[in-house]
Structure 1
């Protein structure tokens, strides 16, 4: 697979604060890569350095095999969509989409053809003559995407593009962006703090913390095999216990069973005695909180997400067994 862009030992330091700490990152051509993590982890700073809006304090950035570390944004051949969309209110949809082409002195006939083809791709050809203020948030998002795509960029950079949409539109636009990427074969780099968004959309997922890359891989590999407690916690594992020999184990709430039976013990799976401290009814399931002591002797608070059918008798104060099969236990490096 070809590498569309690459960070080699890239850092970004602002005074005493290190926003990005010597990262190495390869972005595969024709794939959708997400930079994922909490606020302040360095994902947006990394995207801005890739776009050319911020120069790294050290390290190199190559695009299509060319050292682009000091290349200005307008000469990198990249498309970018911001959180705010940044559409020109006085221009029509077609004029907004064609703006980058006009700057590049693309002839009018060719420009018009490309604009209409791109608007057709995002399903907005019928709104070519409309002004942005007449459009919904989702439609404005599609116009911003079309404008970035129209110039046929080497990479398409998306900075939290769905954060201003309501929950229903966010879900719709995830599928729409994925469809557009698949149909065009574009290399896309998406910044998000939403793990569901990253899991659903990514070919390659890069999880960051405090300016460093914690783990990189396919969504399936990262989700099923988190490298450390931070990654597991960020991806919703919730439950962390330590074995008698000091190994750190993570278990997802939906994989933790709760039973009124006495713990039988197991050399392979997890079996702990505990007391229910909270039961939250959520329709088809219950979120059960259990206080227990793990095999290392440490007090732990465990969450079990169980189907409500058949376990309506669980109540606060009950003594229960919490357990998980061996295949549901994820060993952590730290």
Structure 2
């Protein structure tokens, strides 16, 4: 598989703070790669270095195999969509989309053709003459996407592009961006802090923490096999217990059950069994969230979360002694 861009031992240091710590990262051509992690993990700094808006303190950035570490942004042939969309309010939708083409000297006839072609791709050809202020948030986001796509960039960079939209629109735009990427074959790098967004949209997912890459791979590989506690916690495993042999185990809330039948046990080949006391029960319509305080095999107090369908779920109440259990196949052994 061809590499569209590559980071080689790239660092970014601001005084005493290391924002990006000597990362190596290959971005596959024609795929959607997400940089995922909490605030301050280095994902946006990495995107800005790829775009050319920040120079790395050390290391090399290659785009299409060419050392572009010191190449200015306007010469990198990249499209970028910011969190704020950054549309020109005085220009029509068509003129906003054609702005980058005009800067590149594309003649009027070809520019109009490519603008309408791109607006048709994002479903906004009928609004070509409108001004941005007349558009909804989702429509403005599509215009920003169209402007970035129209120049036919080597890479399309998206910096938290959905964060200003409401929940319903975010879900719609995830599918829309994925469709556009699939139809155009663009290489897309998306920065997000939303695990659902990354899981749904990514071909390749890069989880970052404190400037370092914790794990990289397809969602179908990473999600069931988190490399460490940070990755598991970030992806919503929530329950962590230590087995008798000292192994740290993770299990997702939907794979943990809490029953009133108190059976002593621990983490073993046949799964997990711990006794504990219910500290909270939250009915959420389709599911029931039960919080249990227990002690694992190491003697440590652990807070466990069981998330089961409310239909047919066993009735438990705050203060009840319960057994929490999970089958062996649902337990994930973590490196740390």
TM-score normalised by the shorter chain: which range applies?
A: over 0.9
Alignment partner, residue 157 of structure 1: 157
Alignment partner, residue 274 of structure 2: 272
Report deviation, 1:311. Answer: 3.1
Report deviation, 1:264. Answer: 5.8
Matched, 1:324 2:318: no
Alignment partner, residue 257 of structure 1: 257
Aligned equivalents of 2:269, 2:110: Cα separation in 1: 70
Unaligned runs of 5+ in 1: none
Give yes or no for contact 2:3–2:28 (8 Å, CA) kept in 1: yes
Aligned equivalents of 1:202, 1:145: Cα separation in 2: 17
Q: SS where residue 181 of structure 2 aligns?
A: helix
What is the aligned-residue RMSD (CA, Å)?
0.8
Q: SS where residue 69 of structure 1 aligns?
A: coil
Aligned equivalents of 1:41, 1:301: Cα separation in 2: 26
Aligned equivalents of 1:284, 1:70: Cα separation in 2: 54
Report deviation, 1:313. Answer: 2.3
Equivalence map 1:277-296=2 (5 Å): 277-296=279-298
Report deviation, 1:43. Answer: 0.2
Matched, 1:88 2:81: no
- Structure 1 residue ranges, 4+ long, deviating more than 4 angstroms after superposition: none
Aligned equivalents of 1:160, 1:307: Cα separation in 2: 33
Unaligned runs of 5+ in 2: none
Aligned equivalents of 1:25, 1:152: Cα separation in 2: 23
Q: SS where residue 224 of structure 1 aligns?
A: coil
Aligned equivalents of 2:13, 2:306: Cα separation in 1: 42
Matched, 1:45 2:37: no
Matched, 1:241 2:241: yes
Report deviation, 1:312. Answer: 5.4
Equivalence map 1:151-230=2 (5 Å): 151-230=151-230
Aligned equivalents of 1:267, 1:187: Cα separation in 2: 44
TM-score, scaled to structure 2: 0.98
Deviation by residue 1:203-258 (Cα, 9 ceiling, x = unmatched): 00000000000000001111100000000000110000001110000000000011
Aligned equivalents of 2:216, 2:300: Cα separation in 1: 31
Aligned equivalents of 2:306, 2:222: Cα separation in 1: 22
Aligned equivalents of 1:238, 1:194: Cα separation in 2: 16
Q: Give the number of aligned pairs.
A: 334
Aligned equivalents of 2:88, 2:320: Cα separation in 1: 61
Matched, 1:106 2:106: yes
Aligned equivalents of 2:116, 2:311: Cα separation in 1: 53
Aligned equivalents of 2:153, 2:270: Cα separation in 1: 52
Aligned equivalents of 2:221, 2:263: Cα separation in 1: 32
Deviation by residue 1:267-322 (Cα, 9 ceiling, x = unmatched): 43001111111101101111100111111111111000011123352101111110
Aligned equivalents of 2:91, 2:136: Cα separation in 1: 16
Give yes or no for contact 2:259–2:314 (8 Å, CA) kept in 1: no
Report deviation, 1:259. Answer: 1.2
Report deviation, 1:262. Answer: 2.8
Equivalence map 1:23-34=2 (5 Å): 23-34=23-34
